[in-house]
Amino acid sequence: MSGISYGLFRKRKMRTIVESILSHAKFDPNRVALITSEGKYTYSDLKNGIIECEGKLREHNVVQSDNIIISADHTFGFISMYFGIHHIGAVAVPINPNTTELQMEKYIDYIEPRALVSGNRLITMDFSNRISEHTYEPDILDRLADIVFTSGTTGEPKGVMLTHRNLAAGCENVINGGSLCTEDVALVPAPLYHAFGLASMRSVLYCGATLVLQDGLSSLRTTYANLYQNDVTQLYITPSALTILINQCAGDIGKLLRKTKKIELCSAPLKPQMRMKLMEELPDTTLIYSYGTTEASRSSYLCVDTSFHGLNSVGHDSPNSIIEIVDEQTGRTIDVPDTFGTLVIKGNVVSPGYYKYDTEELKDCIYHTRDSGYRDSNGYLYIMGRLDDMINKGGEKVFPNEIESVVMSFDSVKDCACIGVKQEESPLDESIVLFVVGNSDDKKNLDMYLRSQLDKYKIPDKIIFLKAIPKTSAEKTDRNELRKIYAELNPDH
């Protein structure tokens, strides 16, 4: 049996994820929906779990539009409660299971939840005076489904509001871009309180495939067992997590993933050298790269093969997304190939806004991303980096990845990142500071190599070796933390 492909989804009316799950339970009840460390669960089991959780919510007087903070772990209980919240018409707010008490207090003050859910515990809260931020929409697809936190560029978490239409559109993007079908078995080891892992989980169940959940990649034995005992065909993973996996298996990633037919990467750019390594060691595996944000899930897709010259591309727009390249100064759309601009995303996948936070950046389902990029003559999209991370070096504009991609091609470098540091004598000019994970004895050779490969104005002014590059909880390079590290190492700067 070949499995149902995305084509059937395009022909029917868009529906909520819960509606899709209940449909799978009706027409294919014994198909395995979910595999966790606890066991295997069919779509019939999942339907019953959702209904049971909905009943529990009703017992605690949860009603439509109530906000419910839920600890997002990799369990059947979380999945059932998450969709139970949707089914009752409330709003799910997934958070890190390891959230500190101080951070939890901030979430509660901000979200004003009707209840907190952690494991088997459901604690109701009294926010009877709360004025609902949600507008009642007659079409269920336009009602609020989730509030998902994103750190943004300031490091302060913002709640991204996502409607049922946003979630379903994101699922269709994932299904189309990754050729996901009902016969697939997909492993998701990513956190379920961040956009990438959460959207991957939703998409697999929306499609009617089998979802394998794993809480991170700390155990190679667990990863191996999940891959081979469950005959995994698709892997959703971030570049940082993939690097961990490669190190765990001593570089023999081809042996570990030889039966995996498709690998999708998102959240952060994958270094070109890593892409080439994967294609060489996994010739029968389709490597898929997607670009998206919490505000606009999986907005573009690229299936990479060795014949494609643009290894740095993130492909073409997804079906439910329209990505425009816009001039930052004039706001006009740029139609000329190879011309830089700011990415603006429109379409069903785009969030209606931030919770309790108005900004022109995200308004009326139009998202001004602050990402800079361009399209080539064939329409392929390229992301250069965040405008906030751009370095001003002697009047020249430099994006960190222009340097980092070259640094990663040096043999002894395992990871790297660079930042711009303002100079006291010239506040409008910045020096380039490169942080490297690798052999510090190679510092001189690395410097010589970069001087031979980079334009003069892109050559780092200082190279600092670290044991690890700090990452955000979304596994992206934490440049704010790198600036703190630099300040600690240079207190007089």
Query: pLDDT truncated to tens, each residue of the chain (493 aa)?
Result: 345 444 444 445 789 999 999 999 999 999 999 999 999 999 999 999 999 999 999 999 999 999 999 999 999 999 999 999 999 999 999 999 999 999 999 999 999 999 999 988 999 987 655 555 555 566 889 999 999 998 654 456 789 999 999 999 999 999 999 999 999 999 999 999 999 999 999 999 999 999 999 999 989 999 999 999 999 999 999 888 888 888 888 768 888 998 999 999 985 666 667 777 788 888 889 989 899 999 999 999 998 765 555 667 889 999 999 999 999 889 899 999 999 999 999 999 999 999 999 999 999 899 999 999 999 999 999 988 888 899 988 778 899 988 998 998 898 998 999 999 987 766 668 999 999 999 999 999 999 999 999 999 999 999 999 999 998 877 788 999 999 999 998 876 5
Round to whole Å and give the CA distance between 426 and 419.
17
Decide if domain 6-382 falls under CATH 3.30.1330.10: no
150-185 pLDDT tens trace: 865 445 678 999 999 999 999 999 999 999 999 999
Q: State the architecture of 390-489 in CATH terms.
A: 2-Layer Sandwich (3.30)
Q: Give the residue from 174, 248, 182 showing the smallest Cα distance to 209.
A: 182
Q: Is 351 exposed, middle or buried (0-12, 13-18, 19+ CB in 10 A)?
A: buried
Helix (H) or strand (E) holding 488: helix 479-489
Instruction: For residue 198, give the 3-state DSSP assignment.
Output: helix
Per-domain boundaries in the chain: 6-382, 390-489
438 Cβ neighbours under 8 A, 6+ residues apart:
410, 412, 413, 414, 415, 416, 446, 465
**Residue 244 to residue 250: CA distance in whole angstroms:** 10
User: What's the DSSP call for residue 140?
Assistant: G
Taking residue 191's Cβ as centre, other Cβ atoms within 10 Å add up to 23
* Contact by Cβ (8 Å): 416, 402: no
Helix or strand or coil: residue 13?
A: coil
Dig out the tokens for 282 from the structure: 């996994």
What tokens were used for 55? 């009943």
Cα–Cα nearest to 166, from 190, 189, 137, 186: 137
The DSSP line for 430-457 is EEEEEEEEE-GGGHHHHHHHHHHHS-GG
CATH topology identical between 6-382 and 390-489: no
pLDDT tens digits, one per residue of 58-80: 999 999 999 999 999 999 999 99
